[in-house]
A and B are shown apart, each in its own frame.
Chain A
Amino acid sequence: MSGKIATLSDASFDEHVKASDVPVLVDFWAEWCGPCKMIAPVLEEIASEQEGKLGIAKLNIDDNLDVTRRFDVMSIPTLILFKDGEPAARIVGAKGKAQLLQELAAYL
């Protein structure tokens, strides 16, 4: 299941979100963040259930400060949904699966 979640970096970020045919939800996370660990399994479930409709990618903020700063991420986990390469929605803080899907519904 985890194979469906892409791992992004400062170098690969732009190309990945622009080249995608479907919206991409990027998870800004870090190893030391408890709530980030909590939502990891939720994102894996969503990735496999929404395959073909939504792409999910992770960006480690410790290693990728450029992209993190560019989108003014100041709290993790932050999830940003990119549509046609542009940020369309932003979810700050850990949320349950039902709530995440509800907030994303308008874009899927």
Chain B
Amino acid sequence: MSTTVSATASPPSPSVKTSRRKSLTSSPLIRYIIVRFLLIIPTVFILVTMVFIIMRVVGDPITAALGGRLSPEQLAERIHKAGYDRPIAVQYFEYIGQVFTGNFGKSITDGRPISAIIVTYGGATLELAIYALIVALLVGIPLGMVAAYFRDRWPDAILRIFAILWYATPVFFVGLLLKLVFAVWLNILPVAGRASTRTELDLDSLPHPTGIYLIDAIQLGDPAAIGDVLQHAVLPGLALGFLTAGIFLRLVRTNVIGTLSMDYVDAARSRGVSEFRLVRKHAFKPALIPVITVIGLQIALLLGGAVLTETTFEWRGLGFQLVQYLGSRDFVAVQGIVAVLAVIVAVTNFIVDIIAALIDPRVRY
């Protein structure tokens, strides 16, 4: 940093041009990364604060969770022990301090530390999200290019109607339909869960389970277990993946059509480059930049969709667990899980922005 600052400051007027070019190639990217990284802090801070406020509007978490089940004296004692009778500001600062040290407290209903809950179930959600992203990219991008290539002709019309249909179908209804067709009527795939009971027992007996069943099954080295895990993943992966695939399709189509009307594509066309090659080589890459940015925004959507998909398929991940805790009004657990999800979303968006900046210099500021 310091070298570029001195380089722009010291030279006399004739060499200003060269020094500016130098700083454009090296420092702005680093500056952008730093600025963008610093922006994560207020984002996470605001979200954590918001969750805290919303959660405390209801009252203290102990009464919310155990209200009808304990006598008023027992409740008061537990509230005092947990410190919920202190001023709200004190509690808030204590909570913020805990969050920044990675301590999210213990759930009220089952007494487990939030960090342990996240480690145990986070892997399952991550696994599901990765399957979904793979499905979305494999389906959405090629079909989007096809739609752009056949713009306004029947393949485009059919694909666009499909994309809108995918978008219009809630992920849990897609899940129910897939279940009905493939698990009940055709009976070729399991109805729900992440693995059959036997495989789950085998996987739990591993010395270092990762929580990501596919990796665990490979660790186990049992082909039957790998097959079982993959079979269970097909329907949830498809359900969640289709949700995003439709968005990618529309996005790729719009952007490829946009870039196809650029001058350089016209130039290539006039050189005799085939229309197919134009779409695949010339218009595709610049059209990918917005797609990368949108993948970042999709992480938030995927996490929301994961809550629904996990409930549909009884996929015991973070979303499934979150719904359980919400149902039992365990707001300490909810607060912790939501805070962690906020951090995940903020960090992914940061990474995606950096990738976008690396690819496209215009993004940097």
> Does B bind A?
no
